Chains A and B, each alone.
Chain A
């Protein structure tokens, strides 16, 4: 199962990023654990300098902009391939 974290303190762009992630995950009918990190200290610890940011299984995929849903699909796909290979 994928762990997806959306980092954002609650600005409009961060909400939009979270909405797109949820949309992609719901439409693909796969299981993913989506969490929202709003604490700026957690963001700094994760190495994020600009929000919104999205991390999948702990790897930061984007930071400082709202990605489009196709990008999110590609990242999820890559992470799925990686987890299958590792298994």
Chain B
């Protein structure tokens, strides 16, 4: 009943909430308070996990079961809390970027500089692979070079906030930074290569002939409270979707943690096995999983002696190259270009794998 009353006001003039500056001050205070509370809880997690595992459940730290349960009880809230914080932050950052702005920045840019810029913007511009086709058409018909468009399309899914949070939370900032850095590098180089190969003729011919409409109306200025709302919605959408995978993944990790002997993986995924990197990519490309599902498994692999480069290559090929996106892109790209796209990215991932196995 209340709802119908609310909607019956539809013809009433809309009154804006007064004094946005007061509202912004309140938002800043609430934000500081929330981050402080978050940090306090986060700091206490190891103590809480130990207490729950050993005092409440009465398990012994020396047993496999004890160490598995402690791992699960500690990692689950830790990863979920990191996820909430970062997804919220990224949601707010992304509210400052739109594909329209990104396109305006990239249009007419020369290659190289354009590839780098596109890869960086791919990280912060909101993008969902289901709009890959309209985005592709909108980019290439307004003067964004083909290779630059690809740099954007490669970096957008690969350097993803969920992957970065999980890598940071489970392996520390160095691994997360390596992942982000090499992911960007692959996007820049693969896009540049596609541009050099002059693959425009393998774009479906009608694409360049498409007449675009005007989309300036979609460009609106958002208030801070709207940005916060977008951040909250991102948390609800993303964390709401990935949490079962996170827990399942950590549980798998916990199982391996307690029971599978150290260095179990070293013989099959260790540095010594040269074929392990291509094999990881071959297995990873057709696999499609969100970052959340794959990272804890990755942790278990690393913890048991798999080489970092091999594991990063596996993860990049699962997240960065996805079968559904390639199928969607088939609408606008002819097979040779799709093959080159997958091939170039896969070669980039292979090189990352080998380089890290060599230097780490």
Q: Which residues of A contact B (CB under 8 A)?
A: 8-11, 13-14, 24, 27-30, 40-41, 43-51, 53, 59-66, 68, 73-74, 76-77, 80
Contacts and interface: CB of A to CB of B under 8 A. Distances in A.
Nearest to B211: A45
B133 A44 contact: yes
Contacts of B99: 49-50, 63-64
B78 interface: no
B98 A64 contact: yes
Given A27-B7, A63-B98, A64-B126, A40 B133 contact: yes
Q: What are the nearest 8 A-B pairs in CB distance?
A: A47-B215, A27-B7, A40-B133, A44-B137, A47-B213, A49-B99, A63-B218, A43-B134
Contacts of B135: 49-50
Given A13-B237, A28-B8, A77-B11, A48 B215 contact: yes
11 contacts: A9-B133, A28-B8, A40-B328, A47-B215, A48-B131, A48-B215, A49-B138, A61-B217, A63-B98, A64-B99, A73-B14
A45 B233 contact: no
B103 interface: yes
A24 B8 CA distance: 10
A51 to B, nearest CB: 4
Contacts of B98: 49-50, 63-64
A1 to B, nearest CB: 15
Contacts of A62: 218, 220
Given A45-B210, A47-B212, A50-B98, A77 B10 contact: yes
Nearest to B131: A51
A51 B217 contact: no
Interface string B216-244: 01101000000001100100010000000
Given A27-B4, A44-B212, 12 more contacts: A24-B10, A29-B8, A40-B328, A41-B134, A48-B138, A48-B215, A50-B134, A51-B131, A51-B134, A62-B218, A63-B99, A68-B229
Interface of B: 3-4, 6-8, 10-11, 14, 98-100, 103, 126-128, 130-131, 133-135, 137-139, 141, 210-215, 217-218, 220, 229-230, 233, 237, 328, 331
Contact of B218 (A11, A53, A73, A80): A53
A27 B110 CA distance: 51
Main secondary structure of the interface of B (DSSP, over half): helix
Nearest to A76: B10
Q: Which of A9, A43, A49, A73: most chain B CB closer than 10 A?
A: A49
Nearest to A16: B237
Contacts of A68: 229
A59 B218 CA distance: 8
Contacts of B214: 47
B118 to A, nearest CB: 14
Contacts of A28: 7-8, 10
Contacts of B212: 44-45, 47
A13 to B, nearest CB: 7
Contacts of B4: 27
B100 A44 contact: no
B218 A9 contact: no
Contacts of A53: 218
Contacts of B141: 44
Contact of A51 (B3, B8, B14, B130): B130
A60 B218 contact: yes
A49 B134 contact: yes
Nearest to B102: A49
Contacts of A59: 217
A50 B213 contact: no
B290 to A, nearest CB: 13
B148 to A, nearest CB: 15
Q: Which of A40, A51, A77 has the most CB of B within 10 A?
A: A40
Contact of A48 (B10, B128, B210, B218): B218
A74 B230 contact: no
Nearest to B215: A47
Contact of B138 (A29, A47, A65, A74): A47
